[in-house]
Amino acid sequence: MDYVSARTSKIARLRIETYDTGGIPQLQVKTTEPEIQTLGPILALDLGEKFVGAAISDERLITTKRLPPLKRSSWKKLLQDVRGLVEGFDAQTIVVGLPLNMDGTDGEAAQKVRQLALNLARSVPQAVYLQDERLTSVEAAENLKAEGVKPEDVPALIDGAAAALILRDFLVSNVERIRVDPAAQIGDLDTTNE
């Protein structure tokens, strides 16, 4: 059995197991649906108010790498920066972190991200997905401290670390993936699952 077949078989087994997600009942899901085939490399984005964290996977979807954060100013500049990353890393898929409330509902931040993801899906040829990002910033900060990063350096690295966690969760999650349909209206995005 070659490496790709072995990995695909492993992923298929993972897709039918139930994972403990730290006590968040909405995410304890068991599914037997086949895994959605996403192409790599995958670019993940963590949209903040001032910066956008970014991370990239390798083409085989095995490793992830934090990238320097993008400065967030205008939509046009952000789109230009994202396109630059897509082209530079030959990204085939884009994942955007969705900041849901702890109870799984949308707040103002989630609605803004849904709108931005819809705009992105309409502006690039790559598939765009939304990925639940609850508590990724907290986990990212803890991981950076565990890596020995000085506390004063954590804010500069947290966006990329959070994007890497969003990407990791997207790659291993057994929750249905939410693909952003460029033809959708903003209200449709919460039910557009693949």
CB count within 10 Å of CB 32 equals 7
Cis peptide before 69 (omega within 30 of 0): no
- Per the structure, the count of domains in the chain is 1
Q: Which of 2-6, 98-102, 107-111, 155-159 has the lowest mean pLDDT?
A: 2-6
Q: What is the pLDDT, as a whole number, of residue 37?
A: 63
* Residue 24 lies inside a defined structural domain of this protein: no
CATH of the domain at 173: 3.30.420.140
* Residue 118 lies inside a defined structural domain of this protein: yes
Determine the Cα–Cα distance for residues 132 and 96; give it in Å rounded to an integer.
9
- DSSP of 57-100, one letter per residue? E-TTS--EEEEEEEEP--HHHHHHHHHHHHHHHT--EEEEEE--
pTM of the full structure: 0.73
* Residue 2 lies inside a defined structural domain of this protein: no
Determine the Cα–Cα distance for residues 124 and 116; give it in Å rounded to an integer.
12
Domain range enclosing 82: 39-191
* Residue 172 lies inside a defined structural domain of this protein: yes
DSSP classification of residue 25: G
Question: pLDDT tens across 90-118, in order?
Answer: 999 999 999 887 887 788 988 999 999 99
